[in-house]
Amino acid sequence: MPNIDPLTRDLWQVVAATDEITPGVVETTILLDTPIAITRDSTGAPIVWRRTDEEQGDEINPASIAERLPVTSGYGYIWTSFGNPPAELFPIPEYAEADRVNMSCGSIGIHVSAPRAVENFLDMGHFPYVHTDILGAEPHTEVKEYDVEVSEERDEVLATRCRFIQPRAAKSATSAMEVEYVYRVPHPFCSVLYKSCPEDESRRDVIAIFLQPMTEERCRAHLLQSMIDSTSTITDLRRFQQTIFGQDKPILENQFPKRLPLDPRSETPIRADKSAIAYRRWLSQKGITYGVIPAAG
């Protein structure tokens, strides 16, 4: 096993959407450079183990799997760990609200490190250029001042008062509106976004991205939407999110180096990058070395 920092080893890591795993059938993937296999037992409970000679699609008796990795389910996904994971996953309380439409929006491989993908998710400056006419458009290129804090109590990065004018902020949006965002980074490789909901002004849609670090330079993005939308179909809502992600993918894959550099002098920050800077510093202070280029010294 390659050199994985202790913190990354002890984290819960996402590996698959629960619904996409058929009980008794093997699904294979890679987590932290290690081939793993996933299935579910007859009650639907997930099982994850280090892959040996199993192949994708093999039928297997789940009871025969002896050496299992820790496993948990949350937000529609299966999570595992190579170390001693915490008792609970980080909280997304909105997921439990009765009237929300919760859906997984697919798992997309990207040839870039997981932290690079998190940083891209936090970034508003690219909306007019990468998501033209959906999440942003010229002339609205300005990133207004926003607030960022690292909450010690919750151990997460929190960016608030983020505002951006969007031509079509959500599937249910019909015209341009100034959207207010809150970004949370409650896990080194996961981020949760809250945005004003076109359908109900008093509530917020939730979009989360859970990144599965496959290697230091490759990951899979697992997307969750938890929406207040009474009109769109789940297929449409998924397609919308996949379109957005499809636009990010080629840009991310052209980022160099592929691992996220944590030295403040490796890239040129501007005021709009406040949340990215806080995120890089948070990773650095935690001692995360997987998928990043640590700052020297």
Interface residues toward other proteins, by CB under 8 A: 119, 125-126, 128-130, 138-143, 250-251, 254-257, 261, 263-272, 277
CB of 283 to other proteins, least distance (A): 16
In terms of DSSP bridges, do strands 260-261 and 292-293 run parallel, antiparallel, or are they unpaired? parallel
Using CA atoms, how far residue 50 sits from 31, 46, 210, in Å, is 10, 14, 21
Question: Closer to other proteins at the Cβ: 133 or 236?
Answer: 133
CB of 184 to other proteins, least distance (A): 21
Question: Closer to other proteins at the Cβ: 38 or 276?
Answer: 276
CB of 222 to other proteins, least distance (A): 23
CB of 282 to other proteins, least distance (A): 17
* Residue in the structure block whose two tokens are 């590996």: 15
CA angle 9, 39, 103 (to 5 degrees): 85
Those residues whose C-beta lies under 8 Å from the C-beta of residue 218, and which sit 6 or more positions away, are: 30, 109, 110, 111, 112, 113
Q: Could you tell me the two tokens for 134?
A: 């959906």
Looking at the DSSP assignment, which residues form a beta bridge with residue 102?
A: 226
* Residue in the structure block whose two tokens are 């300005």: 142
Question: Closer to other proteins at the Cβ: 47 or 118?
Answer: 118
Give the 3-state secondary structure of residue 34: strand
Distance between CA 35 and CA 2 in Å, rounded? 12
Question: Closer to other proteins at the Cβ: 171 or 258?
Answer: 258
Question: Closer to other proteins at the Cβ: 155 or 267?
Answer: 267
Cβ atoms of 101 and 197 closer than 8 Å: no
Distance between CA 167 and CA 170 in Å, rounded? 9
CB of 274 to other proteins, least distance (A): 8
CB of 1 to other proteins, least distance (A): 23
Question: Closer to other proteins at the Cβ: 89 or 148?
Answer: 148
